[in-house]
Amino acid sequence: MMQWYDPPTVNEYLRRTFSVLNISVLVLTCIFAAAEFRYNWCENLLGRYLATTNQNRPETGAIWKTGEMASSAKNYLKDIVSKQKATRLHVQKSESFLEIAKGLMPGEWINIEKEHFKKLYLELSDPLAEKILNPVKMIWLLNGPELDRIFIEGEQKGIRIYFLNTANKVLKRVHLDMKLLDQFEKKSLSIQASLEEFDGFTGRIYKASPFFRAVMNLPPDMMGDLIGNPSILLEEKGRIVRAGIWNEAKEGYIRLGFEFVHESVHKVVFVKGREWAVWQLSINLKEGSS
């Protein structure tokens, strides 16, 4: 069955096939293909277009790189947050400044609650607490209107404590040396200073010779109660030039301070003496000076 659009005759079929339009399209296609093979103008045109619009197009893999960088940044932030939480938990569980110092890396900051700081401060020996800040001044600093928060910064050889107000102004800055804290943990303490720098020794500083003459007048069994661990003093280099008696007893003990001089450097070494032995020593010192 012949369709309505089928040519009725062969002549009509040929006329439609070799029409001017079809031949023109064929000729133009051949010219286009020959010109492309000869002059490569299509590649050149495409190359110019890509070169012109290159700055507006992303680099190869830029989207993938952006995604990778975003993922790395998220993981890095996650690690920071996790580390901050771990450090905060470490500080909260710490029972001494030495524990905090061991858990903080140099340059690492952490906030410490005021009540927790008070607890750690009260655990310090009187000389070390006074080296940080006089206890009377600490009362006003911690309970006054200015202090807003306390930060601790880790350092290579210890920690640094910052007391800040609401405007982030540093009210007080204190450095605690790791070696000093470690000595305190071992129940011995030495500070590069002189006895006059500690208010606790005011009025009770003696030259070494009369001090040890008074010690020699004590009963032999009482000498061990006065200086329970003499190896602390024997290990120190230099010579003892003065000794001091702390003006306050704590838990049945009174601190004694011995000022050493070695290569023109003054150092105070602290030991604990039994309260009754120190009082007897004080009586001997008074009798010796009269």
Check residue 3 and give its pLDDT: 57
**pLDDT tens-digit series, residues 201-212:** 888 899 999 999
- DSSP assignment, residue 247? E
pLDDT-derived band at 184 (thresholds 50, 70, 90) equals low
Residues 280/214, Cβ–Cβ less than 8 Å:
no
Calpha distance 174→160 (Å, rounded): 6
Burial of 268 (0-12, 13-18, 19+ CB in 10 A): buried
pLDDT-derived band at 287 (thresholds 50, 70, 90) equals confident
CB atoms closer than 10 angstroms to residue 91: 19
**pLDDT tens-digit series, residues 2-53:** 455 565 666 666 666 767 777 888 888 888 777 777 777 777 777 777 777 7
Check residue 235 and give its pLDDT: 82
Check residue 128 and give its pLDDT: 67
Inter-CA distances, 40 with 26, 35, 254, 256, Å? 20, 7, 101, 99
Calpha distance 286→154 (Å, rounded): 47
Check residue 77 and give its pLDDT: 72
CA dihedral (13, 19, 21, 27) in degrees, to 10, reads 110
Check residue 269 and give its pLDDT: 87
Reply yes or no on whether the pLDDT at 95 is more than 70: yes
94 phi and psi angles, rounded to 5 deg: -70, 140
Q: Tokens for 191, please give them.
A: 């500070």
- Is this model's pTM higher than 0.85 or not? no
Calpha distance 128→121 (Å, rounded): 9
Taking alpha carbons only, the member of 241, 68, 272, 268 closest to residue 180 is 268
Check residue 9 and give its pLDDT: 66
pLDDT-derived band at 87 (thresholds 50, 70, 90) equals low
Calpha distance 244→247 (Å, rounded): 9
3-class secondary structure, 57:
coil
Angle at which helix 41-52 crosses helix 20-39, to 10 degrees, equals: 70
Angle at which helix 208-216 crosses helix 275-289, to 10 degrees, equals: 120
Q: Where in the chain are the domains? A: 81-181, 188-289
Residues 142/158, Cβ–Cβ less than 8 Å:
no
CB atoms closer than 10 angstroms to residue 30: 10
